[in-house]
Amino acid sequence: MKIINTAVVGSGFMGAAHIEALRRIGGVNIKAIVSDDIPAAKSIAEKYSIAEVYSDYKKVMEDKEIDAIHNCTPNYLHFEINKAAAEAGKHIISEKPLTTNAADSQVLTDLVKKNKLVNAINFNYRFYPLIQHAKRIIEKGELGEIYMVHGHYLQDWLFYKTDYNWRLEPEISGASRAVADIGSHWCDMIQFITGMKIKKVFADIFTIHNTRLKPKQAVETFKGKEIDTSFDSDEVKINTEDGGNIIFQFENGRRGVFTVSQVSAGRKNSFEFGIDGSKKAIKWNQEEPNQLWLGYREKANEILIKDPSLLDPEASRFAHYPGGHPEGYPDGPKNLFMQVYELIRSGKDPQNEKKVFADFEDGLYENKIIEAIIKSSTEERWIEIN
Ligand SMILES: NC(=O)c1ccc[n+]([C@@H]2O[C@H](COP(=O)([O-])OP(=O)(O)OC[C@H]3O[C@@H](n4cnc5c(N)ncnc54)[C@H](O)[C@@H]3O)[C@@H](O)[C@H]2O)c1
């Protein structure tokens, strides 16, 4: 197998998650890690035997031996780093959202197409085996006609006024928070599984904590579960949403609804959707990812437990362990990266290939959905996505 040299930019929650997943797929050498937090980067480099540690991502762009980069930095850096990588001819696996706005994402989408680069966004939730199975059974018509979809993405890590992270600052995270951060996953998932695009939205977004206590020192993402009053803090104004309720229409006029919130106590990462069809319905929740609920009118409902021998053959390749052996969050990026690096290794022009992973075109459309949701809520009307 040809070894592909790659670099990971960012040494936080996702930087570490990408590295761990890359170490499990084989055929990839992580040649460099880049971070503005050098002690963290050095510690990761030592743990995973990564040769180079840089504080400036431009070093990676200059290294001709590096074929691909993983961009795991805060959102405002996605455009700049992805653009530099595309100009340097590197394949890109970017964290979501692709950038903080559709105009910048359009520039990147055009650039990666022009330079024939493999481009992917880490919409990792697509890669649970039962999600791939659900997609296949919908494609085969087992649900019949889709009547409606519904669901939520709820978290509690920003529940308290004292919870703070860079995601609360629009200049770092973008104009939308809960919708862009977790609503984007929900929209990607529902469009991926159904094969239908969200075309119109009507949204009502809300902010519970109009001010928050910003610690004078940085706090790691998802770190604290208890109120930590040991930090000195400043009371700062919050300009982004804690959550929202969104109704929408697909291209074919069928309807859906979902709720996002980062202030729902007890909901750690409750990402759930239901799809109601004319023959049966399905429901899935990320916190129990090895179970797919199947609902019927005429007989008892069923729960399909992840088991490669019971999945559609197209889906079973994403299950690496037998039935009864749960697969979870870290396996999503692993499955995604396997697809991405297979395509890189093939040397094929990604534009001509059918891809299971989200690419920059999908990321651009996500930006358009997010912008439409914010606009709809502000103007209190339906907004169409073009
Ligand atoms: N797909 C998912 O499930 C998922 C989950 C969490 C986060 N994310 C995305 O991942 C990205 C990173 O989020 P996170 O939670 O890992 O944040 P984080 O704060 O834990 O990590 C960000 C990292 O970027 C580094 N960094 C900051 N400026 C830099 C620079 N100029 N050059 C190099 N490195 C720099 C920081 O030192 C830190 O290591 C975000 O875009 C977020 O939306 C995706």
Q: Clarify whether residues 23 and 69 are in a common domain.
A: yes
Q: What is the mean pLDDT of residues 275-299?
A: 98
Provide the residue type at 117 as one letter. Answer: L
Buried b (16+ CB within 10 A) or exposed e, 101-121: bbebbbebbebbbeeebbbbb
* 374 is a domain residue: no
The answer to whether position 265 is within a domain reads yes
Residue of minimum CA distance from atom 28 in ligand 1:
36
308 within ligand 1 shell (Cβ under 6 A): no
Phi, psi at residue 289, to the nearest 5°?
-75, -10
How many Cβ atoms are within 10 Å of 171's Cβ, its own excluded? 11
Question: pLDDT tens digits, residue range 41-84?
Answer: 999 999 999 999 999 999 999 999 999 999 999 999 999 999 99
Question: Rounded mean pLDDT of the chain?
Answer: 96
Distance CA 63, CA 283 (A): 46
Q: Which of 8, 9, 13 to mutate to test the pocket of ligand 1 (most atoms within 8 A of CB)?
A: 13
Residues 251, 149, single domain; the answer is: yes
Is 52 inside any structural domain? yes
Residue 380 in domain:
no
Specify if 381 maps to a domain. Answer: no
Best CA proximity match to 271, nearest among 376, 187, 164, 358: 187
Q: How confident is the model at residue 216 (pLDDT cuts 50, 70, 90)?
A: confident
217 and 312 belong to one structural domain: yes
41 belongs to a structural domain: yes
Q: Does some domain include residue 103? A: yes
pLDDT band at 217 (very low <50, low <70, confident <90, very high): confident
| 74 C-beta neighbours (distance < 10 Å), count | 18
Q: What is the pLDDT of residue 230?
A: 67
Domain co-membership, 146 together with 286: yes
37 Cα: distance to centroid of ligand 1 (angstroms): 11
Identify whether residues 121 and 133 lie together within a single domain. no
Asked if residue 299 and residue 254 are part of one domain, the reply reads yes
Q: Is the CB of 155 under 6 A from ligand 1?
A: no
**Is 343 found in the same domain as 314?**
no
- How remote is the CA of residue 35 from the centroid of ligand 1, in Å? 10
What is the 72 CA–ligand 1 centroid distance (Å)? 5
Do 8 and 116 share a structural domain? yes
Q: Are residues 343 and 284 in the same domain?
A: no
Q: Which domain holds residue 42?
A: 4-125+334-359
Identify residue 216 by its one-letter amino acid code: K
Quick one: residue 206, left, alpha or beta (phi over 0 = left, psi -120 to 50 = alpha)? beta
Quote the CA–CA distance of 350 and 109 in Å, as a whole number.
12
The tally of domains found in the chain comes to: 2
- The residue whose C-alpha atom lies closest to atom 31 belonging to ligand 1 is 36
pLDDT tens digits along 224-233: 555 666 678 9
Q: Are 310 and 304 in contact (CB under 8 A)?
A: yes
Of 302, 323, 344, the residue that ends a domain is 323
- Does the beta carbon of 129 lie inside 6 Å of ligand 1? no
Give the pLDDT confidence of 241-251 residue by residue, as tens digits. Answer: 999 999 999 99
Q: Measured between alpha carbons, how far is residue 84 from residues 92, 120, 218 in Å?
A: 10, 16, 27
Residues 259 and 157 in one domain: yes
Residue 36 Cβ < 6 Å to ligand 1: yes
Residues 107 and 16 in one domain: yes
